């Protein structure tokens, strides 16, 4: 029996099916583009999109670069970014290729990250500390932090603005201002300050310019911008994260740490940053304490059975913050925590000793950093920097360089004054400070308001902090986590959870239980006032 086949009809049918399939793919791609939300997306959600093919790393990276253009340069002109990574899309393409080949570097594979611009990268970006003296400065190698992030598959998309020289240059400074990039704004209310010195990092994450940013802290510079920008900040124990290739202030107090919109994202990033570095003498001490995966401590019942000290000193300065803090403490009690009032942690003299240590170590650290830039660097010493600033038309426009000049007058680190002051400061902040209080009351952690609502940026009078609680943990070199606690009007404020050296696991348990039980995080509205 002979069958008659209408080949023209069959051809048209096949063509129609092909065109329909292509149309569906086009609609899917368009749908994906339209549905990609930056504001509150998490690392886990983005990884799911990579795994099921909803997103490509190149598409996501391009979207974040476009978002920076839209929010930071145009639109609200947040001014949180000093420079974009010109190689970001090339890196994204390589990481996409690896995924197609079945190679996945882990939780940070393809995740856009921003670095504070005092963290060295050996690529086509500069590292400036916000200073015109370092305009065009290219370090000879990656910082240890940048190296680990690259190995983990992160896409370093940009460098964030900061308070110049990490806010330790002179008097009456405005957090978030740098000579090389001007003033960063607070994304919640644009005439308010983002707090420093990791101001650009905090503002960028809050505004959805990346999932995570890396900040640095000597005293308050991770937790304060986290407070002011409504994000999570983790200041690790000094030694958990290497400082090699980070422009220094204090060898004793400096650390890098992650800032993100959720504690989970910050913790995932922390996992990638930890490890011993032979070029940072603080890191070997972490070997007996470091955990392979800190996300295991993110427990919704993490407050149950905890004994927590309520640090009272920051209270009484802003009744609106006090009210939010009392509500936070009441929630902790409702989840099974026991709260013990703490009047004092360390003697007042510790603050003055810490300042002197910072001056000593600043001179030594900066001179060593300038040497690391090689013989062609235009700034070769702290004295060179001071002289540059005197001649520059912008650098001393709003505030002076008194701290640089005071550091220049300090002796070497083998001086008896330095060694004695350091020993007394550490004893006062640790043995007679946090450790004493926690031992006396058998505490798991201490809590306090991180800070007050952001003040109006004022280049004439400088910063108006109002209140803060970063100093006890910062001076001791101990860990501190800030998470959102609520809002005063349209401005976010945070709560800090801090404690003994290497106590990140228990602090994460407490912080996560609080974050998940309250969910205070809200995206900024970029209000004019």
Question: Average pLDDT for residues 445-457, to the nearest whole number?
Answer: 98
- Over its C-alpha atoms, the chain yields an Rg (Å, rounded) of 25
Q: Is 4 exposed, middle or buried (0-12, 13-18, 19+ CB in 10 A)?
A: exposed
94-123: pLDDT as tens digits: 999 999 999 999 999 999 999 999 999 999
CB within 8 Å of 134: residues ≥ 6 apart: 126, 127, 128, 180, 379
Question: Average pLDDT for residues 368-380, to the nearest whole number?
Answer: 97
pTM greater than the 0.85 cutoff: yes
What is the C-alpha separation between 443 and 43, in angstroms, rounded?
A: 33
476-503: pLDDT as tens digits: 999 999 999 999 999 999 999 999 999 9
Strand pairing of 155-160 and 112-116? parallel
Helix 43-51 and helix 57-68: axis angle, to 10°?
140
Query: Using an 8 Å Cβ cutoff, are 457 and 398 in contact?
Result: no
- With a cut of 90, say whether residue 257 has pLDDT above it: yes
13-53: pLDDT as tens digits: 444 444 454 444 443 333 334 445 767 899 999 999 999 99
The domain spans of the chain are: 43-352+413-518
184-214: pLDDT as tens digits: 999 999 999 999 999 999 999 999 999 999 9
Identify which has the larger pLDDT, 439 or 17. Answer: 439
157-168: pLDDT as tens digits: 999 999 999 999
401-422: pLDDT as tens digits: 999 999 999 999 999 999 999 9
Question: Average pLDDT for residues 273-302, to the nearest whole number?
Answer: 97
- What confidence score (pLDDT) does residue 39 get? 73
H/E run at residue 50:
helix 43-51
Among residues of the chain, what percentage have pLDDT more than 70? Answer: 93
- What confidence score (pLDDT) does residue 484 get? 98
259-284: pLDDT as tens digits: 999 999 999 999 999 999 999 999 99
Question: Average pLDDT for residues 61-83, to the nearest whole number?
Answer: 96
- What confidence score (pLDDT) does residue 36 get? 52
The domain defined by 43-352+413-518 folds into: Amidase signature (AS) enzymes (3.90.1300)
Positions marked catalytic = 116, 197, 221
354-365: pLDDT as tens digits: 999 999 999 999
321-348: pLDDT as tens digits: 999 999 999 999 999 999 999 999 999 9
- What confidence score (pLDDT) does residue 3 get? 42
- What confidence score (pLDDT) does residue 507 get? 99
Query: Using an 8 Å Cβ cutoff, are 488 and 321 in contact?
Result: yes
- What confidence score (pLDDT) does residue 529 get? 87
Q: Which two tokens stand for residue 37?
A: 């939300």
CB within 8 Å of 42: residues ≥ 6 apart: 211, 261, 262, 264, 265
Residue 199 CA from chain centroid, whole number: 9
Average pLDDT, the chain: 94
């Amino acid at each position: 029996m002979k069958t008659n086949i209408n080949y023209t009809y069959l051809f048209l049918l096949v063509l129609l099916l092909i065109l329909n399939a292509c149309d569906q793919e086009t609609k899917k791609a368009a749908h994906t583009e339209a549905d990609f939300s930056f504001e509150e997306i998490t690392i886990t959600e983005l990884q799911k999109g990579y795994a099921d093919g909803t997103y490509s790393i190149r598409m996501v990276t391009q979207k974040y670069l476009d978002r920076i253009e839209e929010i930071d340069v145009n639109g609200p002109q947040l001014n949180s970014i000093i420079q974009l990574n010109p190689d970001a899309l090339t890196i994204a393409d390589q990481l996409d290729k690896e995924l197609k080949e079945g190679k996945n570097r882990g939780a940070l594979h393809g995740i856009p990250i921003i670095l504070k611009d005092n963290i060295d990268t050996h690529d086509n970006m500069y590292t400036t500390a916000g200073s015109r003296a370092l305009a065009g400065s290219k370090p000879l190698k990656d910082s240890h932090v940048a190296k680990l992030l690259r190995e983990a598959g992160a896409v370093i998309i940009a460098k964030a603005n900061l308070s110049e020289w990490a806010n330790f240059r002179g008097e009456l400074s405005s957090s978030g201002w740098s000579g090389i990039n001007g003033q960063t704004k607070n994304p919640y209310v644009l005439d308010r300050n983002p707090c420093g010195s990791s101001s650009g990092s905090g503002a960028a994450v809050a505004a959805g310019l990346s999932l995570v940013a890396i900040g640095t802290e000597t005293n308050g510079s991770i937790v304060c911008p986290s407070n002011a920008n409504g994000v999570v900040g983790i200041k690790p124990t000094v030694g958990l994260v290497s400082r090699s290739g980070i422009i220094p202030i204090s060898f004793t107090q400096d650390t890098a740490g992650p800032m993100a919109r959720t504690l989970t994202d910050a913790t995932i990033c922390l996992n990638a940053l930890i490890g011993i570095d032979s070029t940072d003498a603080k890191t070997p001490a972490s070997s007996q304490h470091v955990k392979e995966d800190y996300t295991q401590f993110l427990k919704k019942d993490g407050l149950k059975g905890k004994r927590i000290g309520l640090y009272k000193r920051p209270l009484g300065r802003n009744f609106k913050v006090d009210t939010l803090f009392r509500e936070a403490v009441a929630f902790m009690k409702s989840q099974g925590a026991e709260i013990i009032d703490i009047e004092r942690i360390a003697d007042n003299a510790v603050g003055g000793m810490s300042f002197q240590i910072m001056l000593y170590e600043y001179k030594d650290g900066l001179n060593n950093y300038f040497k690391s830039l090689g013989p062609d660097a235009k700034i070769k010493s702290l004295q060179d920097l001071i002289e540059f600033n005197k001649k520059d038309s912008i650098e001393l426009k709003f505030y002076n360089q008194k701290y640089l000049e005071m550091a220049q007058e300090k002796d070497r680190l083998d001086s008896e004054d330095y060694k004695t002051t350091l020993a007394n400061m550490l004893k006062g902040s640790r043995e007679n400070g946090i450790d004493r209080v926690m031992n006396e009351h058998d505490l798991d952690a201490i809590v306090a308001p991180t800070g007050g609502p952001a003040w109006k940026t004022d280049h004439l009078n400088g910063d108006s902090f109002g209140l803060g609680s970063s100093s006890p943990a910062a001076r001791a070199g101990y860990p501190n986590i800030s998470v959102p606690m609520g809002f005063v009007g349209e401005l976010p404020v945070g709560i800090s959870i801090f404690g003994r050296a290497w106590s990140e696991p228990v602090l994460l348990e407490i912080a996560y239980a609080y974050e998940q039980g309250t969910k205070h995080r809200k995206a900024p509205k970029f209000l004019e006032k």
